[in-house]
Amino acid sequence: MSTTDPISREENGKEQVSAEQILQEVYTRRKQLKVKNATKVDILDLEELKEYQGKKRTEFETYLRRNRLDVGQWMRYALFEVEQHDIRRARSVFERALLVNNSYIPLWIRYIDAELKLKCINHARNLLDRAITTLPRVDKLWYKYLFVEESLQNWDVVRSLFRKWCSLEPGINAWKSYVDFETRQNNWNNVREVYSKYVAIHPKVATWLSWVKFEMVHGDVSTIRTVFSLGSDVLNEYEKTDPGFKEDCIEFAIAFANWEASQMEYDRSRAIYKILIDKWPNDGKLQSGMIDFEKQFGDVSTMEESVVYKRKKEYETLLTNSPQDYDLWWMYLDLLEENFPQELLLGFKKSVNNTQPSSNVKDVNWKRYIYLWVRYLAYIELSINDIVSCRNLFKKLINEIIPHKSFTFGKIWIMYSEFEIRQNDIGTARKILGRSLGLCPKPKVFRRYIEIEISLREFDRVRRLYEKFLEFDPSNLKTWIAYAELEQNLDDEERARSIFNILLDDANDVISMSDSSKVIVIKRFIEFETDMEEYNNARELYEHYLQLSNFSPEVWTSYAMYESATPTDDQLKALREKMDENEDEEVDFKIEEVNKERCRAIFERALKYFKEQDDKPKRILMLEALKGYEDEYGDSHTRQETSKRMPQEVKKTVMEDGIEREFIDYVFPDDSKLNPKASKFLALAQKWNQEQNGETERA
């Protein structure tokens, strides 16, 4: 049984919530029902089988008459007929479904698979032909057709299908599949013919390189060079009209130059680089490629190496003079990792040894220094896999580097504990986190420790951690709510309720909360009581909620809708009895007249309250909310009566500092019923308004 709670998601007083929004939320939640599994039926003879088939067909047809657009139900119907070995009925259902929606791809696939399963190959082939004709841009249907024909070894049919498909200029996957098919057939000339069309439709560097790769396996030097030359010319032509092809031209040309170098055609390779650099002199890829080429086959390599060594020397000189320039240390480590990996470990040691900031304030320099440690520790554990050294470094950082009396870094404590967890040492990880909380407790360490214990299902430890967390920071409302939610998830209703009551207890000196914080707590408390089906407790909380919100119209409306959407004690008892009697069926709560009357009673209380307070704007809001409710759930009589209660505008004048000022006042019909003088005044006001309108028309 599910219940709803239309509590506003907006903070009190910040944004008005309309009755329509609340009603829509209630209506949406009520539709979220769980689907029960179908009852298993044992069939013992032919007569029972026919009765079962007739019953199921009647159920399918009845449902589809109500919702013929449910294609999933059509497929279940058809597959049921397939299971009954009645292929004629199954085909009939599939065809009727296609008339409803012939663009639903799973429907075609189920239909085709059913025919194939029954070995009706021609039927399946006809269906596939219909499918690709109806939905020519759906690759899955083409692949299905091709798979069937290739499985039957109809090579010519497969080839004709690929040609038909490629005539539609599909995506690259179709072309790749065509190439793979011809390659499996060892038809190298056909593959070249496919590639010639493929690169015309998709003139990208990946396409050309794929052709080159094929020629490297099945061609010779002349065919490879021909493809490279043709590709370079085509890509250059495209680049003239579309600058986006620049990167493709460069990448393909570098591949061309590298291949020529592999064939010992160094002059050709150098000429390619020269042409490209003349055209794009500032491109980094070309310069890097040229340098790499000259490193291997020319004299430029020594120059490049000298540049790198010179940069490394400059970094080391600057770091000697400024050992606490952590950004420069980071760039230095990047250089070592890229060019001198054998010196990287020594570089890490230099970056963290005797370079820590001297200040006892947690500033930017300390954070950058700790990030160097984080990178160092990750390198030791993940790249070198030296577990012992990594543990020793963690101990050094915790015991000697970080001044815990002044400040700490929760990230390091968490990293250290997670490192020990990866080594399957849960006890040590707990000691590390416990020591952190004893030396310098931080919220992020508490939260991570709690997450670890929850994952280990150590809920008694979790409770103790929450208690210590709340002792450390009792003003953290999120922690209180998280603790209550934990107890709720553990089905400890009393503990969860006690936590919420502590938060809402005005005499409680553990935590001092503002009214806005109490509103957050009471909303969550109401949700909890609703989940626990303690609706009377939730109603009492709503009374408290009204006082906290200073009797806000939004809360009155929420309270009224809650009464409408939740069962009374008698209804709840009846629902539970019905659930016990029908365990296999879903029991839904339906709004009855008693719920509507309870809802209207709350609205009437609100109207009476605002009337006593002489707060006409809020009174109007409540009448509008009541009218919206009656429009949704009421009958013609209640709608008419509610409409009659809407106020009328009356123009009045008042003297302020000797100046007559006109303003709009509202007269409520409910007031006139109790006050005959007010009724007479309302009639005179209407008469005066009509006379004024008449004079305006004559003018």
Residues 352-395: tens digit of each pLDDT = 988 888 888 888 999 999 999 999 999 999 999 999 999 999 99
Question: Burial, 473: exposed, middle or buried (Cβ in 10 Å; 0-12, 13-18, 19+)?
Answer: middle
DSSP assignment letter at 634: -
- Closest-CA residue to 535 (of 593, 482, 589): 589
d(CA 306, CA 688): 100
Task: Give yes or no for residue 1 having a pLDDT over 60.
Answer: no
pLDDT tens sequence across 216-274: 888 888 888 888 888 888 887 777 667 777 777 878 888 888 888 787 787 788 788 77
Number of neighbouring beta carbons within 10 Å of residue 513: 17
d(CA 156, CA 173): 20
Pick the most confident of 177-181, 378-382, 632-636.
Answer: 378-382
d(CA 409, CA 377): 15
Average pLDDT over residues 204-218: 84
What does the radius of gyration of the chain's CA atoms come to, in whole angstroms?
A: 39
Pick the most confident of 69-73, 507-511, 540-544, 668-672.
Answer: 540-544
Task: Give yes or no for residue 30 having a pLDDT over 60.
Answer: yes
Return the CATH number of 42-152, one of 1.25.40.10, 3.30.70.20, 3.40.50.10680, 3.30.70.120: 1.25.40.10
The secondary structure element, H or E, covering residue 253 is: helix 246-262
The secondary structure element, H or E, covering residue 440 is: none
Q: Which two tokens mark 251? A: 């990448």
Kindly report the backbone phi and psi dihedral angles of residue 654, in degrees, each rounded to the nearest multiple of 5, phi listed first: -145, 145
Chain mean position to CA 689: 58
pLDDT tens sequence across 137-158: 888 888 888 888 888 888 888 8
Q: Angle CA(555)–CA(561)–CA(563) in degrees, nearest 5?
A: 105
Task: Give yes or no for residue 2 having a pLDDT over 50.
Answer: no
The whole-number pLDDT of residue 694 equals 53
Residues 63, 41: contact at Cβ < 8 Å? Answer: no
The whole-number pLDDT of residue 198 equals 85
Q: Which CATH architecture has domain 203-298?
A: Alpha Horseshoe (1.25)
The whole-number pLDDT of residue 4 equals 42
Provide CATH 1.25.40.10 ranges for the chain.
42-152
Kindly report the backbone phi and psi dihedral angles of residue 143, in degrees, each rounded to the nearest multiple of 5, phi listed first: -60, -35
Task: Give yes or no for residue 9 having a pLDDT over 60.
Answer: no
The whole-number pLDDT of residue 33 equals 47
Task: Give yes or no for residue 14 having a pLDDT over 80.
Answer: no
The secondary structure element, H or E, covering residue 651 is: strand 648-656
pLDDT tens sequence across 569-625: 888 888 888 777 776 666 677 888 888 898 999 989 988 888 888 888 888 898 899
Q: Tell me the residue type at 434.
A: G
The whole-number pLDDT of residue 306 equals 44
d(CA 502, CA 522): 11
Strand partners, 663: 652
% of the chain beyond a pLDDT of 70: 86
Task: Give yes or no for residue 10 having a pLDDT over 60.
Answer: no
* Res. 90 pLDDT band, cuts 50 70 90: confident
For residues 666-680, one letter each, b for 16 or more C-beta atoms within 10 angstroms of the residue's C-beta and e for the rest, the string is: ebbebebeeeeeeee
List alpha helices for 167-245, DSSP H.
Answer: 172-184, 188-201, 205-218, 221-241
- Closest-CA residue to 260 (of 282, 239, 275): 275
